[in-house]
Chain A
Amino acid sequence: MINRRHFLTTVAVGTASAGVLAACGTGSSTSGQTGSAENPVTINYTWWGNDDRAERTRKAIALFEEKNPDIKVNGNFTDFAGYWQKRATEAAGGGLPDVMQWDLSYLRDYGQRNQLLDLSTVNINTDAFEKSLLPSGQIKGKTYGIPTSTNAFAVYYDPAKLASLGIAEPDGSWTYKEFNEFLTEVGTKSNGAIFGGTDYTGVWWMFNIWLRQNNIQAFTEDGKLGFTKDDLKKWWNLTADLRGTGAIVSEERVTQLAPKSPFGSNVTATEVTWDNFMAGYLADSGAKELKLAPVPSDDPDNLGLFLKPSMLMVASAKTKFKDAAARFIDFMVNDPEVGQIFKTSRGVPASKTQRDGTTFEGTDKLVVDYEKSIEKYLKDAPEPPIVGFGTLEASFKRIASDLNYGKLDINGATDAWFKEAEDLIKQNA
């Protein structure tokens, strides 16, 4: 008995200490900054997107590894919402991936909090970029993100659906009143089978464009709100008569269809959003062709449009492989072959080198042509939005949805959003 017990004690102590020792052993040091073909360094790269983007990204990574045998890229992806929750926990633990695909909405949150590498300190060629675009990746003189591509706001429509209802295609210029009438006409003529569109006043960026059309800044230089409650009330009043009619799809349907969009599900005839969603909408809806028209404006000379970086490439401030990360970013934004792989699925390539090296056909050409057609209306890209903007954007959508459910009236919705926004700005001040 005693022997057996001694034996057990020894085993238990041994097992426990083995675990502790093993835990100590994992903190081995990594070799220097650069690798070689025989002994490559590995960098982690993460992005959000669907399977289609994953496929394209893997191709691009394979090409990069072929051209740079001293670097291996370990890729990883999730959907958009989960992406930011993951980054937040990684940042808290000090373990952000070396290179990341990034969104403008979150650039300040991480850049201002010293989580991202200042890319002007490493070697990335930005000669082929529009000078007006680069500032959107910069905060207080530091470059945290390089745009991969641009997108612009547009009204999507399905010409086949309009033809079947006997409605003429938009002529490329409309006021809000005309646009509303158009949405109503779709609802009336289809007898409720197809809705005109979703409630465009629930989209933050469309609101931002409307503000620009009225020469109002969304955010002031010092990170405060640049518009008043009355502005927001006016905006939400634009579709007040349309809610609950065939012009606008009900929130019940939108929720049922999520995460698919009503437009992608063939429930609406139009959608107001970024032009790089084209490939996704085509795949979702199975439509033969989709077209783009400019957003409505009451001032035909000021559409409030701008090119926004549809996504940026950033690096972690803590990466051990600055050089490798920079080479990978440079490759992803400038290489013409990468352009050939992604076409317009990331947006229209921002770098002229990449854009000129890419052949655009079919719907890709539509997107490129659209951005060319609105060129004369384009104004400077907005500065990176305020810290916590991702939250504001989400609450804007949520409160507009409450408005459509009839849970809040316009005054209540405006008060609710301003309360959240002011609370957030105070919180991050």
Chain B
Amino acid sequence: MTQSPTLSRRSTTSAPAQLRKSKQRGADARAGYTFLLPWLLGFIALTVGPMISSLYLSFTNYNLFEPPKWIGLDNYTTLFQDERFLQSVGVTVGYVVFGTPLKLAAALAVAMLLNSKRRGQGFYRSAFYAPSLIGASVSIAIVWKAMFGDSGPVDQGLSFFGINLGGWVGNPSMTMPMFILLTVWQFGAPMVIFLAGLKQIPNELYEAASMDGAGPVRKFFNITWPMLSPVIFFNLLMETIHAFQIFASAYIISNGEGGPAGSTLFYTLYLYLRGFSDFRMGYASAMAWLLVIVVGIITLIFFRTSKSWVHYSGDAK
């Protein structure tokens, strides 16, 4: 369908034929936009519209019941005097900084293992991907809570080795490791992308390196890493953005409160509580926009710095 009009366009010569073709192209475009229409309508009504109104609300005091009152930048300035807000930033940044690299390292390690030729590789790939299919769901968060609870399997397993930490869920200094383990365990999606990337690396490179006597470490840093760098970049970007948005598991494991002692008060959870428990929608909107801006800036920084370490094939090196 997409090929044939292009081909026929090249071969046209006579004016009437051209007219006919351009009419046809107009019809094509109409059909295209008509098919896009349901999505476009949804995008405008459900995404762009609410975003614009939340931008407006972020400059107001809005409690859901009464019309919003314009207060200028007040929401944004009070944010930085709000201790719980600062705490939520700390919690989230800690999670992003530690969780994301660990998750990507796990994903890359498993992808490399699964890239070798071995019997039953298809089975292993599915098995390692499975946690990600169910990972974001409510049920896993509940299972996680039970596993890391008092006398849960993790507690019992560790006490077998003489480590008595008690339940992790109620211990403010253990909740963050628990959430990081949860995200690391859900490495499936970046792993699949890494695997696809690894398959793109020509085997000759490794063979040539072997001939020159390079060991596995050397091969990894001199072949795999640079060849895979666009994929690593992509995964790093996506996972960082995702990590900033963690909500469902935090909501469930802490019963929607961000406890114990505020140790799981993730940014989006606090945003939600502000909006829907305290009825401060203007404040919550300001938080949402601040998050959008910060994630945008981080993305920009990633792109800027990527030039120094991401190599695209065809780049002059």
Contact = CB atoms under 8 A, between A and B. Distances in A.
Contacts of A2: 24
Nearest to B28: A5
Interface string B31-43: 1001101100000
A88 B276 contact: yes
Nearest to A258: B255
Contacts of B257: 394, 398
Interface in B267-308: 276-280
Interface in B13-32: 24, 27-28, 30-31
B171 interface: yes
Given A258-B255, A394-B257, 9 more contacts: A5-B28, A12-B34, A91-B64, A251-B261, A254-B170, A255-B170, A388-B278, A398-B262, A402-B261
Given A9-B30, A254-B170, A89 B276 contact: yes
Interface of A: 1-2, 5-6, 8-9, 12-13, 15-16, 19, 81, 84-85, 88-89, 91-92, 109-110, 113-115, 250-256, 258-259, 388, 390-391, 394, 398, 401-402, 405, 407, 416, 424, 427-428
Contacts of A254: 170
A255 B30 CA distance: 58
A253 B150 contact: yes
B132 interface: no
Contacts of B28: 5
A6 B261 CA distance: 64
Nearest to A416: B83
Nearest to B150: A256
B24 A427 contact: no
A5 B255 contact: no
A332 to B, nearest CB: 26
Given A5-B28, A9-B31, A428-B63, A259 B255 contact: yes
Contacts of A5: 24, 27-28, 31
A255 to B, nearest CB: 4
A92 B61 contact: no
Interface residues of B, number: 36
A306 to B, nearest CB: 26
B66 interface: yes
Contacts of B170: 250-256
Given A256-B170, A394-B277, A113 B65 contact: yes
B276 A255 contact: no
Contacts of A407: 172, 261-262
13 contacts: A1-B4, A9-B34, A12-B35, A19-B38, A251-B170, A251-B260, A256-B149, A256-B169, A391-B278, A394-B257, A398-B262, A401-B260, A427-B280
A338 B255 CA distance: 33
A256 B30 CA distance: 59
A252 B171 contact: yes
A109 B38 contact: no
A259 B145 CA distance: 12
Contacts of B61: 427
Nearest to A1: B4
Contact of A255 (B31, B66, B259): B259
B34 A85 contact: no
Interface in B155-178: 166-167, 169-172
A255 B38 contact: no
Secondary structure at chain A's binding surface: helix, strand, loop or mixed?
helix
Nearest to A82: B256
B65 A16 contact: no
Contacts of A394: 257, 277
**Residue of B169, B255, B279 most packed against chain A (CB within 10 A):** B279
A88 B261 CA distance: 26
Contacts of B171: 252
Contacts of B149: 256
Question: What 4 A-B pairs come out closest when comparing CB atoms?
Answer: A252-B170, A255-B170, A113-B65, A12-B34
Contacts of A8: 31
B277 A85 contact: yes
Interface of B: 4, 24, 27-28, 30-31, 34-35, 37-38, 61, 63-66, 83, 149-150, 166-167, 169-172, 255-257, 259-262, 276-280
B172 A405 contact: yes
Nearest to A92: B64
Nearest to B171: A252
Contacts of B276: 85, 88-89
Nearest to B257: A398
Contacts of B24: 2, 5
Nearest to A251: B260
A115 B38 CA distance: 35
A37 to B, nearest CB: 37
**Residue of B166, B260, B277 most packed against chain A (CB within 10 A):** B260
A115 B65 CA distance: 8
A405 B65 contact: no
A427 B30 CA distance: 51
A427 B63 CA distance: 10
A16 B64 contact: no
Contacts of B30: 9
A251 B259 CA distance: 10
A19 B149 CA distance: 49
Contacts of A88: 64, 276, 279
**Residue of A89, A255, A398 most packed against chain B (CB within 10 A):** A255
A416 B149 CA distance: 29
Contact of B261 (A256, A401, A416): A401
A13 B65 CA distance: 39
Contacts of A85: 276-277
A115 B27 CA distance: 51
A110 B34 CA distance: 44
Contacts of A12: 31, 34-35, 37
A254 B172 CA distance: 13
B161 to A, nearest CB: 21
A5 B27 CA distance: 8
B65 A401 contact: no
A9 B63 contact: no
Contacts of B260: 251-252, 255, 401, 405
A398 B262 CA distance: 9
Given A81-B255, A259-B255, A407-B262, A252 B65 contact: no
B304 to A, nearest CB: 39
Given A5-B27, A12-B31, A113 B66 contact: yes
B111 to A, nearest CB: 36
Contacts of B4: 1
Nearest to A390: B277
A128 B28 CA distance: 74
